[in-house]
Structure 1
Amino acid sequence: MKVLVLATFLAISVQLSVQQNYCDLALCPKKGPHIACNGLTTLDTACGSSGREVPMDATNQALILDLHNKLRNTLASGNQTPYPAAAKMPTVQWDKSLADIAAANARRCVYGHDACRNTVAFPSAGQNIASSGWSGMTFTDVQLITKFVNAWYDEYKVANPSYIAKYPNGYSGPDIGHFTQIASDRTDRIGCAMVTFKPTATSNKAIMVCNYGLTNVIDQPVYVSGTACSGCKTGCSKTYPGLCSTSEVVVSKM
């Protein structure tokens, strides 16, 4: 029965992804337009002839998920001073629809958050973005992805546990939102895209966009503190023991 229910859920999810109308105004009731409404399916001319969309193949998906889950596991296990352990931190998994929408942003080769990236399944989707420029050096896709995810998480150094207990309203200090997005126990889905291009003949640039099942929610906890995995209804992950198993059901809604 569990297998049947899971298979049915997956079939419905795939069907929704295929049939989704991103120009539906109901997806962006407070802001818009939706980035994937008539969004880019190939690189914009701003990317130039050297522009390249990094393939989000199984290898890069696994890298992004492992980076996120290792960091979440460290935090959830109470090993990131001064932050408390997390009672029910889920293991993040890949979502194709979130990745496709992230690609519509990244393909612009313009660094910036989009106004709306919601789906029916994720009506309040969150987003992390990163950019890096360089010249006279060479970086692999793995190095860039690793650099960006770690940089987001490193904002823990300027955040504090009070922001975890309740995400601040009207916050104006150093960036913390990328860290809290990674740390959220209310999202278990992520999808990313990355492009590289040459702004000038001698310089290089990379832009990475990751969309998450739920954004940071003002005045609500980023995660519930408690003994690691104590609040997981489906048990702990064998790979990341501070996180819930991948069977944990997470409702990514406000």
Structure 2
Amino acid sequence: MAPGRNSSLSSPQDTVLGMVALVFRVLLVMALTIVEKPPSAVLAFDYCAASKDLCQPPEARHVVCNGRQFSPACQSDPKHIKMKPEYRKQIVDFHNRLRNNLACGYFRRYAEASSMEQLQWDNKLARMAEYNARTCTFAHDECRNTRKYRQVGQNLAINWFHGVNVSVSEAIEKFQRHWFLEYSRGRQKLLDRYGEHSIRAGIGHFTQMVHADTRRVGCAMVRFRSVKEDLPVKQYYLVCNYSEGNLYERPVYRKGPRCSKCKYGCATNGTQYRCLCQQRQG
């Protein structure tokens, strides 16, 4: 073909280069598709799409639908606090000490518990808590259930500090103690059946902490800066999810001699929680 003329034909080299470019474009589109998937795709299971099967009522919005980005309510310099082993231990130990003391009958006005489970940390519950925490909004989500746990309970705490350096550990301790102190407003009757009177008494955080059949807990925390009363402040927001929540018209725990209804008896092997149920071995 005469030089200088355009041609619709291409050489083998041009064909190869064209194929490479096409493959590159396909791969690029695939990569963009992966990046642009909804945040729920970070999880192996799409909880947002399964809201109607996991949540009650079915039209409730699963917390995963929020995504993992910080919301505008987080204002300035938001940070997700990684739950280091020492923070997880602090939370689990506080709960188990409280549960053990109640089960032993050490609190006035409250009877011994015939079966009080020992809590363990759960990473999936903690992940669900993170979706709420990243909203920086002190509000229960409509649904946080998992495929394994279908009646997940939740405790929330938020506070701000000005002119004082409060560590993560100190904030966690403060929040948990605030939940626990609700016990002073309660009485045994309110725990024998969790109902309207229990709710009005304002003891829901305490009852969630000592719910006898709860076996797992997972928490998330964020820190951000804002302005309160014209003062620059630092805020902490803690969200804890529990494998089973306060169940309406059901007992928080069952009264009776300690461990008398535990399947494997009281905890042994030198544990400090001698009034909690022995965990199944293996």
When normalised by structure 2's length, the TM-score is 0.77
- Aligned position for 2:203: 176
1:95 maps to a residue whose letter is D
In structure 2, how many angstroms separate the alpha carbons of the residues matched to 1:221 and 1:21? 33
Aligned runs of 1:209-248 on 2, under 5 Å? 209-237=239-267, 238-247=271-280
- Aligned position for 2:193: 166
In structure 1, how many angstroms separate the alpha carbons of the residues matched to 2:74 and 2:94? 27
Aligned runs of 1:8-157 on 2, under 5 Å? 19-23=44-48, 24=50, 25-30=52-57, 32-37=60-65, 39-157=66-184
Maintained 8 Å contact 2:190/2:197:
no
Q: Deviations over 1:148-168 (max 9, x none)?
A: 111111111111100111111
- % identical aligned pairs: 36
Q: Please report the RMSD computed on the Cα atoms of aligned residues, expressed in angstroms.
A: 1.8
Shift of 1:169: 3.2
Shift of 1:132: 0.9
Greater C-alpha radius of gyration? 2
2:224 maps to which of 193, 197, 201: 197
- Aligned position for 1:188: 215
Shift of 1:113: 0.6
In structure 1, how many angstroms separate the alpha carbons of the residues matched to 2:198 and 2:251? 15
In structure 2, how many angstroms separate the alpha carbons of the residues matched to 1:227 and 1:205? 43
Aligned positions, number: 231
Provide structure 2 residue ranges, at least 5 long, that are not aligned to the other structure.
1-41
2:277 maps to a residue whose letter is C
Q: Deviations over 1:19-72 (max 9, x none)?
A: 3321201111315100013x3324334324421211112111111000100011
Maintained 8 Å contact 1:196/1:204:
yes
Maintained 8 Å contact 2:138/2:157:
yes
Other structure's SS at 2:223 match: strand
When normalised by structure 1's length, the TM-score is 0.85
Provide structure 1 residue ranges, at least 5 long, that are not aligned to the other structure.
1-16, 249-254
- Aligned position for 2:34: none
Higher relative contact order (CA 8 A, sep 6+): 1
Other structure's SS at 1:85 match: coil
Range that drifts further, 27-36 or 230-239: 230-239
In structure 1, how many angstroms separate the alpha carbons of the residues matched to 2:253 and 2:197? 19
Higher share of residues assigned helix: 2
